[in-house]
Amino acid sequence: MIVVNIIILSVNSSRYSSYGSWRIAIFFIAPFQKTVTQSVQFLKNIWGHYFFLVSVAQENDNLKKAINQAIDKNNKYREVEFSNFRLRNLLNFRETMTNQVLVAEVISQDPSPWFKTIIIDKGKSDGVEKGLPVVVPEGIAGQIIDISYNYSKVLLIIDPNSAVDALVQRTRDRGLIKGESYGRCLSKYVLRKHDVKVGDTVVSSGLDGVFPKGLRVGYVTEIVKRNSGIFQEVTVMPYVDFEKLEEVLIVLDSPKHDFDFVSEQ
């Protein structure tokens, strides 16, 4: 029996033969197998999706926290990156300037929308004096009008009280840049005959005794020549974005004009 059995096994193992019997077996067993497998899978799913969710929820909370922390950190890094970029820009500008300058941070803005001043964190203790010009890499920002021991108030060039002696860079025509309170300036006393064009750059003339010569003020956006009058109205858009002013440079050794001799005469 044993020998016969071994012979049959060895013959069967040498070549694959099914004799159709597996079909019958599959026909009866497979449905049960399928049902059981599906049931197991169903239970597994229930476990995995509902009971196991308790730990998943916990994990989700932890991940959310981690994401929030990462976003916060990322935001801080981005802020540092932007700050770094701004400061580098300021530093490059500082190096190009021949004047002695002091970096200051803007700490607040004017409470009224009709007046344009800012308060900076440098004052008398840092060598700041009334009347010193305040600039940024984009151009002229304003002038110190009030100082305390640690803080100063800066009158921006867009304030109606501000005036800067300027000239059109291309033609060298002079004018007086006055603030217009709503983010623009008006170049006053520009003669009608002067060839000023939209897009021309306006720079400081240095003749006001406050701002160094050649600093950018803005560009011409509109020219109105009325039928009468010897002057033309030139609207100048400042290069400086005063809404986003965060750091400024105070020019400590600005050109000072000695007008005493006039009064003496």
Cβ(166)–Cβ(178) below 8 Å: no
Closer of 243 and 260 to other proteins (Cβ): 243
Q: Does 121 bind other proteins (CB under 8 A)?
A: no
C-alpha 137/C-alpha 140 separation (Å) is 8
Q: Does 159 bind other proteins (CB under 8 A)?
A: yes
Closer of 162 and 203 to other proteins (Cβ): 162
| C-alpha distances out from residue 143 to 52, 117, 176, 222, Å | 67, 9, 15, 25
User: At a CB cut-off of 8 Å and minimum separation 6, what does 144 contact?
Assistant: 128, 129, 130, 131, 132, 133, 134, 152, 153, 154, 155, 250
Q: What is the DSSP code (8-state) at residue 120?
A: E
**The only residue of 128, 141, 155, 234 in contact with other proteins, by rule CB under 8 A:** 155
The residues in 230-249 that bind other proteins, with binding defined as CB under 8 A, are: 243
Q: Kindly state the smallest distance separating residue 216's Cβ from other proteins, in Å.
A: 23
**The only residue of 121, 138, 180, 247 in contact with other proteins, by rule CB under 8 A:** 180
**The only residue of 97, 102, 103, 145 in contact with other proteins, by rule CB under 8 A:** 145
- Residue among 238, 264, 214 at smallest CA distance from 156: 238
Q: Kindly state the smallest distance separating residue 234's Cβ from other proteins, in Å.
A: 13
Q: Kindly state the smallest distance separating residue 181's Cβ from other proteins, in Å.
A: 6
**Stretch 46-85: interaction string toward other proteins, x if CB under 8 A:** ----------------------------------------
Q: Does 169 bind other proteins (CB under 8 A)?
A: no
Interface with other proteins (CB under 8 A), residue total 24
**The only residue of 94, 121, 138, 160 in contact with other proteins, by rule CB under 8 A:** 160
Q: Does 221 bind other proteins (CB under 8 A)?
A: no
Report the SS3 class of residue 90: helix
Phi then psi for residue 254, to 5 deg, are: -75, 160
| C-alpha distances out from residue 61 to 58, 66, 68, 123, 216, Å | 5, 9, 10, 49, 53
Q: Kindly state the smallest distance separating residue 111's Cβ from other proteins, in Å.
A: 5
Instruction: Tell which phi-psi region holds residue 13, choosing left (phi > 0), alpha (psi between -120 and 50) or beta.
Output: alpha
Q: Kindly state the smallest distance separating residue 162's Cβ from other proteins, in Å.
A: 9
Residues, the chain: 265
**Tokens at 199, concatenated:** 């897009």
Binding site for other proteins (CB under 8 A): 107-117, 119, 145, 153, 155-156, 159-161, 180-182, 186, 243
